[in-house]
Every structure is written in structure tokens, then in C-alpha cells.
Amino acid sequence: MAYLIFNEIGIIQKIASNDTQLNYHSFSSNYTIKTCTDEEFTNVRTNLKIPSLDNGVTVFENPPPCFESHTDTIPGPETDPKINDEDELKKYFKSVIILIKSFIASNRQHPLINDLKNYKIYLEDFDFSSLNFPVTGNWEKYCEDNSITYYHPLQIP
């Protein structure tokens, strides 16, 4: 069973693939935790669906259409999302690396430290020449399709 964690106005804040991952997060009483199926979790983790709460009910919607070269937008499946070039992917990696570094700096004894360090190293050492740009889909979908261990930013406590 997977989990979706929402803030007080129903916006997704974190995701967890199981009870252990859920326990890695800490939340105030203002958060709502909802269960979801593994398929729903994978759709959120790969940015194919965006969950929200509507009167306490989890709603899954397609992401808004993306604009080319906008890495701050989650591409939707109906818009033929793609990673346009190396610079775009590097920019995304940098944002994830910053998030991981911030977490590691303040949580040195956390059980996920080694996994997150390994993912950070993977991103830092990634061989961009191994890809033929543009790459169809987003980074998380690429990882899922190619059996690459990854962490969606919402999984980082």
C-alpha cells in the first residue's frame, strides 16, 4: 500500500511507496495522509498524474500541458512530453541534487541517507552522451522504463 500526503488545502506534498517510507517523513497534524494503489503511486511518481484532495477524496488529474524547454512544468501524457536537450536535463538534475544535499545536511542519521547519496552520485556522474535527445517522456518515466533506481522529489523526506 502506498501513500499520498497532502497539505491542509489539498495539495500534494510528499509520497511514500510503503509504511517504512511513510515513517521516514515527519508531518504536522495539518497534513492528510491517503492510501493509493501501486498503480496510482507509479502514475504520480512518474508524473503521469497529479493527485489532489477534493472534499477529502483523492482526485487524479492529468498534468497541464508543458511548454518546450520549461523544466519547472510537469509534462502531461497528452502533450508528447520530452526532455529536449542535455542542458534541460542538467537543470533538472541540479534541482534534485540541491534537494538531496539539503536533506543530507540536516539528517545525517536518516535511514535513507545512503540511498539518497547513491542517487545523488548517479545524477552527478550521469553520462549524457548515453541519451539521444530529445528523449520522450520525463526523467522519472525514463528511469521507470529502464529499471533505474530513482527518487522522485516528493519521496525525499
Q: Which tens digits make up the pLDDT trace of 69-90?
A: 344 444 444 455 788 899 999 9
Instruction: Encode pLDDT of 2-14 as tens digits.
Output: 999 999 999 999 9
State how beta strands 32-36 and 82-83 pair.
unpaired
For residue 103, the model assigns a pLDDT of: 94
Evaluate whether 70 touches 87 at the Cβ level (below 8 Å).
no
Q: How high is the pLDDT of residue 77? A: 41
- State the Cα torsion 131-132-135-136 to the nearest 10°: -120
Mean pLDDT of 120-138: 94
What does the domain layout of the chain look like in residue ranges?
A: 2-61, 77-155
**Element (DSSP H or E) covering residue 51:** strand 50-54
- Confidence band of 64 (pLDDT split at 50, 70, 90): confident
> pTM to 2 decimals?
0.84
| DSSP 3-state of 10 | coil
